[in-house]
Amino acid sequence: MAAIEMAPVVSSNRDGRFAKVLIYVGSGILVVAALAALLAPLLTRWGPTEIDPSGTLAAPGGEHLLGTDGNGMDVWSRVLHAARLDLGIAVLAVALAVVVGTLLGLLAGYLGGWVDDVLMRIVDIFQAFPTFILALAVSALLGGGFFNLVVTIAAVNAPAYARLVRAEVRTLREMQYIDAAKTSGASTIGIMWRHLLPNSLTPVRVIAPLNCGWAMLTLAGLSFLGLGVTVPTAEWGSMISLGTSDVVAGRWWTSVPPGLALLVCVLGFSLLGEGLQERADAKRR
């Protein structure tokens, strides 16, 4: 008997296998970056702000793996140590943004009425400015330093989470299981905490890693403009900024390595976020 074959399942990303690859590669990159940051002192014998009196702007090789910068500081060591600051600030800032944004979104979405109106108008004010301009303004207001940068970057990202969670909650609150919880005598806080929160976090889980990548870029951008960390501290953005004039003179090693480190980390976050998105889509099918 003749058999009729329909085309096989179209592309491999439909079944979530592609998603898995993305997630593995993305988190692989990030794990390596995090290890490099943590183990920095073991990977180089120079300190990040240690000046080698024997020479400034030394080419890569020999004493210094990636050469030295204009102040005679070891570039490889600085790139490694900067990862602590860049990754740390980005992840903490996004975590803070998620917590604050989700909380606001939950309240606005579920309570509605004037609570919603007031919270969302505040969010509107934040979202009315281009992200980077807002970050510039906030950081000019607060000043640099680790903690202030975390707050600055969290502040520019939190409104997006508030909107996202609010939208999610507004559809979820019409669901039958919320009615069921109400008729089971659950309190308002109980409904928000036990039923709405766990169910509204799916899109947040997908967006947050992507957002970490953007946060790193924002941080680097601020530092590039001199609003981030103060000069001798190792930070990719400020390193790139300091190194730009050297590039013209053919001394690429002061700015290209931090640029590449930034690129790879942002890529890691993007792949992870993309993978989570794919997986969420595959589950929905």
Partner 1 sequence: MPSETITREQAVTMLDIQDLSVVIHRPGRQVAALSNVSFSVAPGEVVGLVGESGGGKSMVARAIVGMLPSGSHATGRVGFDGADVLRMDAADLARHRGSGAAICFQNPRGALSPTRTVGRQLIDRLVTHQDMKGDRAAETAKELFAAVGIRNPARRLEAYPHELSGGMAQRVMISLATGCAPGLLIADEPTTGLDVTLTREILRQFRHAADTDGRGVLLISHDLASIAEVCDRVVVLYAGTVVESGPAAKVLREPAHPYTRALLRSVPDVGGGRVVATAGGMPLMTAAPHDCPFAPRCAHATDDCRSTRPETTMLDGDWSLACFHPQETPLAEAIAADLTTAATEPGDVVLKIEDAHVVYRSRFGSGGHHALRGVSLELRAGETLGVVGESGCGKSTLAKLIMGLVEPSEGSVEVAGKGVRKQSRAERTRAQMVFQDPIGSLSPRRTVGDSIAEPLRAAKVPAKERAQRVEAALGRMELDPSILTRLPHELSGGQAQRIGIARALVGRPDLIVFDEPTSALDVTVQAQILDVIADVASDAGHGSVFISHDLATVRGFADRVVVLYLGRVVEEGPVDEVFDRPKHPYTRALLGSAPRLGETRTADVQLVKDLDEADAATGCALAARCPFVTDTCRSQEQTLQPYGETRAACWRVPELTALIEKS
Work out which of 53, 62, 121, 176 binds partner 1, going by CB under 8 A.
Answer: 176
Q: Is 53 a residue that touches partner 1 (CB under 8 A)?
A: no
Q: Is 118 a residue that touches partner 1 (CB under 8 A)?
A: no
Helices 75-111 & 202-224, crossing angle to 10 degrees?
Answer: 130
Binding segment for partner 1 among 8-16, 41-49, 83-91, 216-224 (CB under 8 A)? Answer: 8-16
Q: Using the Cα atoms of residue 137, residue 266, residue 27 and residue 275 in order, give the sign of their dihedral.
A: positive
Q: What are phi and psi of 47, to 5 degrees?
A: -80, 160
Q: Let me know: does 234 contact 49? Beta carbons within 8 Å.
A: yes
The contacts of residue 259 (CB under 8 Å, 6+ apart) are: 236, 240
Most distant CA pair in the chain: distance in Å?
85
Binding segment for partner 1 among 48-56, 61-69, 173-181, 222-230 (CB under 8 A)? Answer: 173-181
Work out which of 2, 141, 248, 249 binds partner 1, going by CB under 8 A.
Answer: 2
Q: Is 183 a residue that touches partner 1 (CB under 8 A)?
A: yes
155 vs 196, beta carbon nearer partner 1: 196
CA 258 remoteness from chain centre? 17
Q: Is 20 a residue that touches partner 1 (CB under 8 A)?
A: no
Work out which of 198, 248, 249, 285 binds partner 1, going by CB under 8 A.
Answer: 198
Q: How far apart are CA 87 and CA 71, in angstroms?
A: 24
23 vs 216, beta carbon nearer partner 1: 23
Work out which of 133, 180, 260, 263 binds partner 1, going by CB under 8 A.
Answer: 180
Q: Let me know: does 178 contact 109? Beta carbons within 8 Å.
A: no
53 vs 198, beta carbon nearer partner 1: 198
Q: What are phi and psi of 9, to 5 degrees?
A: -50, 130
In single-letter form, the type of residue at position 29 comes to I
Q: Is 174 a residue that touches partner 1 (CB under 8 A)?
A: no
- 154: closest CA among 213, 235, 100, 118? 100
3 vs 141, beta carbon nearer partner 1: 3
141 vs 176, beta carbon nearer partner 1: 176
Q: Let me know: does 90 contact 153? Beta carbons within 8 Å.
A: yes
19 vs 66, beta carbon nearer partner 1: 19
Positions in the binding site for partner 1 (CB under 8 A): 1-10, 15, 17, 175-177, 179-187, 194-195, 198-199
